[in-house]
Amino acid sequence: MQNTRAILRRVQRGILLGATFAMTTSDPTHDSEPTRRDFIHIFGTAATAVGAGAVVWPLVHQMNPDASVLALSTKEVDLSSVEVGQAIKVFWQGKPVFIRRRTAVEIEEAEATPMSALKDDNARNANLAGKVDASDNARTSSADGEAKPEWLVLVGVCTHLGCIPLGTSAGENKGDYGGWFCPCHGSHYDTAGRIRKGPAPENLPVPPYEFVSDTVVRIG
């Protein structure tokens, strides 16, 4: 909205300056003292600027995203019913997002994994700037920079060919490392969503997210 108003002000200012320049340069003998004709010119120019603004406003305003687009950019998820050891799948911007409430054992295994054991040592966390090592702490950091080891939030799309890995629903194959398994070509992810085995080249990405309360997470 601030950008829209700034554009409108620039349009009006341009019209005023252009008209003023034309008025003062059209007659080289024009006196420096304002005349009645000058006031008529200024009034007419101001009216033109206001009219132009009225025309430009709806054109510029329609470029702003509407409420439905803004709503799709974020998604709030209530996690109060998710028990320790469970995971859910939600959709954000048309993509599946895995949210797992990890057990103490899963957290311990993820934290104990050395960087040398990873195929991809990049955290790939949209909440962190630049390249950061794929430690468990970096993989569970939200937009406010705080890590909640109990909760893991991932975009559930295999980084090999875009399949949706198994491991979120009860009874599904979680692969050799207890995280997720993509049966399409055999990619195995660990309990931090990091690729450990198979053709997938990168870790499952962490989307932008933040906890708005102890039990509600906002994705996007």
Positive or negative: CA dihedral 188, 194, 197, 199: positive
The conformation of residue 133, written as its DSSP 8-state character, comes to B
Give residue for tokens 């430690």. 135
The residues that bridge with 166 in the sheet, in sequence order, are: 181
Q: Please list the active-site residues.
A: 185
Lookup: tokens for 121: 């040592």
- Strand-pair category, 178-182 with 151-155: unpaired
Longest alpha-carbon distance in the chain: 91
**Phi/psi at 91 (nearest 5 deg)?**
-120, 135
